[in-house]
Amino acid sequence: MEFLDVDTVDSAREKLLSSVISWMAVTEALPIGDAGGRILAEDIYARQDIPHFRRSTVDGYALQSANTAAAGESIPVLLTEKSKVEMGKPAQISLSSGECAEVPTGGMIPDGADAVVMVEYTEVYGSDGIAVYASVAVGENVVQIGEDARAGDLLLRKGRRILPQDIGALAAAGITAIKVIRPPRLTILSTGDELVPIQQDPAPGQIRDVNTFALAELARKSGFHVISAGVLPDDESALEGALRTAMKAGDIVIVSGGSSQGQKDITRELIDKVSSPGVYTHGIAIKPGKPTILGYDDASKTLLVGLPGHPVSAMMVFELLLGWLICEISACSPSPAVPARLARNVASSPGRLTCWPVSLEWTGSEYIADPIYGKSGLITTLTKAKGYFIVDRDTEGLSSGQIILVHLF
């Protein structure tokens, strides 16, 4: 019996990161309108106070709040309307005690005023009189200068995945372009004599090529730029040629397939042949997905990854290594996982980290996570799952009723 000398997920990640950290976090500048969903590569500070003048949050009358202290539903206070503030125009007056000025929602508060009373609590009285039927506190219905952000405030932190509201904040701050992470460029080579194109009916012994499609979409979703994805037969010289071409074209080459021992050895030997220093991880203590190969080429600055041929294994390993990597190089914070109660006991695999796909059901007070059993070759295991959870390699297994964290697909 021969066992591979395998890495833990943590040590594989450490090696992975140290091989690429120096070059993979390449940035590019984008207009904010094109930056949605991208990862911010710089801290963003406000350059000016937002807003830079005092604004009303309601339609009403700007005034001195002290004047309204005695006002009530049946006993109004009478003020003199000195002016109307126009939308988008400076309020070029200053209010004294006893005076007020009409202000629209979003309009500028004149000097001298410290609050706004809503128009619903007022009544026009005579030619320039306003009867106020409610008292207002200092600052009521007013957005103060810098209340949204002060000049110098950190608006958005590096590593953030840009949300629609972030683009709004950038617009408000007058920031028209930002630096984001340029998606690492990746090629997928799916190998196997058994693989046929998806439009073809496979003969006995043959199957359709799943990994090219599934891995390409997972890579795109994770923030990579997929240069190309295609199928190759298990032919050493064809694979070597494709590897060398892909290493010139991009930052990462993924070889999926080669699930049998002999083929795995070929993938490993080829990666070692085309790269230097070459393979640094051959086998990771993870279930599913043990036969994973990591290598690096200094000259072309290419990361080379051999993934299992089984789609579920390939996708889980991709998620745990390359999904993790892109977050790590960009300092991005991962999406929150969903706490859920485990519906049944699950065994651990001693010495290996295990990824369990689960379904999720909301009971009205909590989520119930039910592990989905399936051999790792079954793609429907993942289409039935809402996400997955991780059983650490030092864990003895988990009991029904325990709370776990589900990472959503």
| Spatial distance between the Cα atoms of 354 and 347, rounded to a whole number of angstroms | 9
Task: Please state the closest distance from residue 321 (CB atom) to its own copies, in A.
Answer: 15
* Using rule CB under 8 A, residue 74 touches its own copies: no
Please, are residues 246 and 189 in contact by the beta-carbon 8 Å criterion? yes
Nearer to its own copies, 116 or 247 (CB): 116
| Spatial distance between the Cα atoms of 169 and 279, rounded to a whole number of angstroms | 45
> DSSP code of 298?
T
Query: Which token pair is 311?
Result: 């789609």
* Using rule CB under 8 A, residue 75 touches its own copies: no
- Looking at 152, 339, 350, 351, which residue binds its own copies (CB under 8 A)? 339
Nearer to its own copies, 19 or 56 (CB): 56
Task: Please state the closest distance from residue 346 (CB atom) to its own copies, in A.
Answer: 19
Residues 4-23 that bind its own copies (CB under 8 A): none
Gyration radius of the chain over CA positions: 31
- Looking at 184, 192, 283, 371, which residue binds its own copies (CB under 8 A)? 192
Please, are residues 325 and 39 in contact by the beta-carbon 8 Å criterion? no
Q: How many chain residues touch its own copies (CB under 8 A)?
A: 108
Residues 269-308 that bind its own copies (CB under 8 A): none
Task: Please state the closest distance from residue 130 (CB atom) to its own copies, in A.
Answer: 15
* Using rule CB under 8 A, residue 336 touches its own copies: yes
Nearer to its own copies, 301 or 384 (CB): 384
Nearer to its own copies, 18 or 400 (CB): 400
Options 64-72, 85-93, 268-276, 345-353: segment touching its own copies (CB under 8 A): 85-93
Task: Please state the closest distance from residue 298 (CB atom) to its own copies, in A.
Answer: 31
Task: Please state the closest distance from residue 5 (CB atom) to its own copies, in A.
Answer: 15
Residues 238-267 that bind its own copies (CB under 8 A): 259-263
Residues 340-399 that bind its own copies (CB under 8 A): 360, 362, 365-367, 375-380, 382-383, 385-386
Q: Which helix (H) or strand (E) holds 271?
A: helix 261-274
Spell out a b/e string for 223-253, using b for 16 or more CB atoms within 10 Å of the CB, else e.
Answer: bbebbbbebbebeeeebbebbbebbeebbbb
Task: Please state the closest distance from residue 12 (CB atom) to its own copies, in A.
Answer: 22
Task: Please state the closest distance from residue 149 (CB atom) to its own copies, in A.
Answer: 5
Nearer to its own copies, 220 or 344 (CB): 220
Options 114-122, 265-273, 296-304, 393-401: segment touching its own copies (CB under 8 A): 114-122
Task: Please state the closest distance from residue 208 (CB atom) to its own copies, in A.
Answer: 6
Residues 196-235 that bind its own copies (CB under 8 A): 198-218, 220-221, 234
How many C-beta neighbours within 10 Å does residue 77 have? 21
Query: CA angle 384-389-394, nearest 5°?
Result: 140
Options 64-72, 116-124, 244-252, 347-355: segment touching its own copies (CB under 8 A): 116-124
Task: Please state the closest distance from residue 267 (CB atom) to its own copies, in A.
Answer: 13
Task: Please state the closest distance from residue 349 (CB atom) to its own copies, in A.
Answer: 15
Task: Please state the closest distance from residue 299 (CB atom) to its own copies, in A.
Answer: 32
DSSP result, 189-256:
EEE-TTEE-TTSPPPTT-EE--HHHHHHHHHHHHT-EEEEEEEE-S-HHHHHHHHHHHHHH-SEEEEE
User: Measuring CA to CA, how many Å separate 386 from each of 105, 227, 361, 380, 403?
Assistant: 44, 28, 9, 12, 16
Count of residues making up the chain: 409
Nearer to its own copies, 137 or 198 (CB): 198
| Spatial distance between the Cα atoms of 202 and 256, rounded to a whole number of angstroms | 19
Please, are residues 251 and 302 in contact by the beta-carbon 8 Å criterion? yes
3-state secondary structure of 50: strand
| Spatial distance between the Cα atoms of 400 and 262, rounded to a whole number of angstroms | 40
Residues 132-151 that bind its own copies (CB under 8 A): 143, 147-149
Residues 151-170 that bind its own copies (CB under 8 A): 155-156, 163-170
Options 19-27, 84-92, 273-281, 344-352: segment touching its own copies (CB under 8 A): 84-92
| Spatial distance between the Cα atoms of 28 and 181, rounded to a whole number of angstroms | 6
Query: Which token pair is 66?
Result: 């002290």
| Parallel/antiparallel/unpaired status of strands 293-297 and 302-307 | antiparallel
